[in-house]
Each structure stands twice: as C-alpha cells, then as structure tokens.
C-alpha cells in the first residue's frame, strides 16, 4: 500500500525536524507543496515507484486549505494510506521559540525580536491565534503531537513509531505526563492519578520510575491502584469500537500524576500490556523520554 504522511501544524512547532526525521526513515519528502498539486505529485511518484511519501503543508498555502480534508478522504478511497500529522505547541512555547530564532511568523510579517516588548508579543500571539483558527479543521482530522515539552530527538523517535505501523485499524497511544508541566495538547482522553499512593515519598522508591520492579510491586499491592487501573482499562475497552467506527487513526490516552515518574508511568505500562494483544499500541513517557 502506498503511504502518504502529511505533516502540518502551527508555525514553530517542529515541522522541519519532522520532515528531516521522515527523510532519514526513507520517505521521499517535499516541503510546502500546494495542496491542489497533491494528486499530480502522487501520480508522478507512482510512475517512479515511490511508495513512501511525506509532504509538508502549512499556513503559507492558506487559500488551498479548505479543500485539503476532502482531498485526503478521496485519496484514502483510492487506496492510499494517508497519515495526517499535526504538530502543535503551547502559545508560550511558540513565542519563546520565535524569540530565540528571531524568525518572523508567516502571518505577522515582522521579525521576532530577541526580547519582544508587549506590542511585539501581542502581535505574535495574535498571529498564532489566527493560525490556529485557520488550521482548526485540518487539526481535527489529524493525529496531533504536542511538541511543547519535546526535545528534537523525542519528536524524531515518536514520529518513527507513528509511521512504522501499517495496520489499518486504530492505533492506541498511552502517554504518561506530569501535571506540573501541563496536560498534553494531543490527548484524547485524560486521567488524573494523583489521588493514588505516591512512591515519591518513599526514599527507597524515589530514584526508580514506574517501569522499575520496586515501584511496580509497590503500586500493584495498592487496592485503589488496581481498582482505578481496571476502571480506566474497562472504559477504553468499552468505547474503543466507537472510536474505531469514527474512522480515527489514533487514540491518545494520557495518564497524569504530579511528576510523571512513578504512578502515571506504571499505569501506562500496565494499560499497554492489557491492550497489546489487539495490536497497534504505542507507549510514550513524556517526562522520562525527555531526560
């Protein structure tokens, strides 16, 4: 099956890093292709026997964006495995990145200063808000990756995991995170496990993570942990067929605790084991992977 990865998202969210990662993974990559040329591009590369293609589209082609979602549906009907990936980040993270690189936002028309004043920041935030509005429909039809807390190496690794799966059924993504660093923007379902016993307060367990046997054994012995784990798993299992019927490609289940090291990590690992037999299951540990 021919595979097309469409990379889009908010300016400054990491599209260049994503395209370099896909190129390293063996994809033929084209940046900023006008969406209306996508069918001709696919036809040309079919003649060249290219099976793995990646195209980056952003707000610079804003006039063509309204027809992009219907076009992706048409390509799926023609047998192309289409994977739209939308990179997002918090507004604060985006403002910081533009300030550090001194690059202009494509909708602002003005360079970002190294230390923007109130007026410069307001103009940049307004441009980001407008971009979110223009790309909202495409975001809703895509797999979202929140890059606010990600290093480039993390983003490259997560992208490789996403594009390696060729199974047509919905892929389950279980992600642990720390509430103190914010809820992931890419989460579809969010569960708060901060009410569970915290291994952090045990000096012996504190250096370990939820992937390590001492912490796992401690949490497994807590009745409330077992109960909550079963309830979360049962909820996901009950509604998974409905998410699949909704033609989704990915469902991200985010589990949060205070520091993203112990309870949320253990819960993610346990849930992933439960659902692994159905296939297409990915694990992300936002705070651990960022070390």
- Looking at 133, 164, 195, the residue that finishes a domain is 164
Task: Name the residue with higher pLDDT: 148 or 279.
Answer: 148
Report whether 99 belongs to an annotated binding site: no
pLDDT value at position 45?
A: 66
Q: What is the CATH number of the domain that holds 54?
A: 3.40.50.300
For residues 12 and 91, state if they share a domain. yes
Q: What is the pLDDT of residues 45-85, one digit of tens each?
A: 666 666 788 999 888 777 777 788 888 888 888 888 888 99
For residues 206 and 142, state if they share a domain. no
Q: How much of the chain exceeds pLDDT 90, in percent?
A: 51
User: For 17-26, 44-53, 172-181, which range has the lowest pLDDT when averaged over its residues?
Assistant: 44-53
pLDDT value at position 280?
A: 82
Report whether 233 belongs to an annotated binding site: no
**Is residue 181 over pLDDT 50?**
yes
Report whether 15 belongs to an annotated binding site: yes
Please return the burial class of 3, using the count of CB atoms within 10 Å of its CB with bins 0-12, 13-18 and 19+: middle
Report whether 58 belongs to an annotated binding site: yes
User: For 59-63, 65-69, 137-141, 280-284, which range has the lowest pLDDT when averaged over its residues?
Assistant: 59-63
For residues 178 and 159, state if they share a domain. no
For residues 25 and 143, state if they share a domain. yes
Per-chain mean pLDDT for the chain: 87
Nearest to 193 by CA among 144, 147, 230, 234: 230
Looking at the structure of the chain, the number of domains it has is: 2
For residues 9 and 152, state if they share a domain. yes
For residues 127 and 187, state if they share a domain. no
Report whether 193 belongs to an annotated binding site: no
Q: What is the pLDDT of residues 200-238, one digit of tens each?
A: 999 999 999 999 999 999 999 999 999 999 999 999 999
For residues 158 and 190, state if they share a domain. no
Q: In 10 A of CB 273, how many CB atoms?
A: 12
Report whether 16 belongs to an annotated binding site: yes
Q: What is the pLDDT of residues 245-271, one digit of tens each?
A: 876 778 999 999 999 999 999 999 999
Q: Which pair of structure tokens corresponds to residue 281?
A: 């299951």
For residues 147 and 270, state if they share a domain. no
Instruction: Write out the residue range of the structural domain in which residue 92 sits.
Output: 3-164
For residues 46 and 61, state if they share a domain. yes
For residues 133 and 189, state if they share a domain. no
Report whether 62 belongs to an annotated binding site: no
Report whether 77 belongs to an annotated binding site: no
Task: Name the residue with higher pLDDT: 35 or 115.
Answer: 35
- Looking at 132, 164, 196, the residue that finishes a domain is 164
The reported pTM is 0.74
Nearest to 19 by CA among 8, 11, 3, 34: 8
For residues 179 and 122, state if they share a domain. no
Measured CA to CA, the distance from residue 37 to residue 52 in angstroms comes to 17
Report whether 76 belongs to an annotated binding site: no
pLDDT value at position 106?
A: 83
For residues 154 and 194, state if they share a domain. no
CA dihedral 11, 12, 13, 15 (to 10 degrees): 80
Nearest to 80 by CA among 42, 41, 137, 35: 42
- Looking at 146, 164, 182, the residue that finishes a domain is 164
Cα separations (Å) of 98 from 57, 113, 123, 160, 186? 19, 8, 12, 26, 22
Report whether 10 belongs to an annotated binding site: yes
């Amino acid at each position: 099956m021919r595979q097309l990865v469409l990379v889009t998202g908010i300016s400054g969210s990491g599209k260049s890093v994503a395209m370099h990662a896909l190129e390293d993974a063996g994809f033929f990559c084209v940046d900023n292709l006008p969406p209306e040329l996508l069918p001709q591009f696919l036809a040309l590369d079919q003649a060249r026997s290219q099976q793995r293609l990646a195209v980056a589209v952003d707000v610079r082609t804003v006039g063509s964006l309204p027809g992009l979602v219907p076009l992706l549906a048409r390509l799926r009907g023609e047998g192309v495995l289409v994977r739209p990936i939308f990179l997002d980040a918090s507004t604060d993270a985006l403002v910081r990145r533009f300030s550090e690189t001194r690059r202009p936002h494509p909708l602002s028309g003005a360079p970002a200063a190294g230390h923007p004043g109130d007026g410069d920041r307001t103009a940049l935030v307004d441009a980001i808000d407008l971009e979110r509005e223009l790309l909202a429909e495409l975001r809703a039809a895509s797999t979202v990756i929140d890059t606010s807390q990600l290093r480039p190496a993390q983003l490259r690794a997560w992208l490789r995991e996403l594009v390696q799966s060729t199974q047509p059924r919905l892929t389950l993504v279980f992600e642990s995170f720390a509430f103190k660093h914010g809820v992931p923007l890419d989460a579809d379902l969010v569960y708060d496990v901060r009410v569970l016993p915290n291994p952090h307060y045990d000096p012996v367990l504190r250096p370990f993570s939820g992937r390590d046997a001492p912490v796992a054994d401690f949490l497994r012995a807590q009745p409330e942990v077992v109960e909550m784990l079963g309830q979360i798993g049962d909820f996901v299992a009950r509604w998974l067929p409905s998410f699949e019927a909704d033609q989704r490609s990915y469902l991200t289940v985010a589990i949060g605790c205070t520091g993203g090291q112990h309870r949320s990590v253990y819960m993610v690992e346990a849930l992933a084991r439960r659902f692994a037999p159905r296939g297409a299951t990915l694990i992300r540990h936002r705070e651990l992977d960022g070390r």
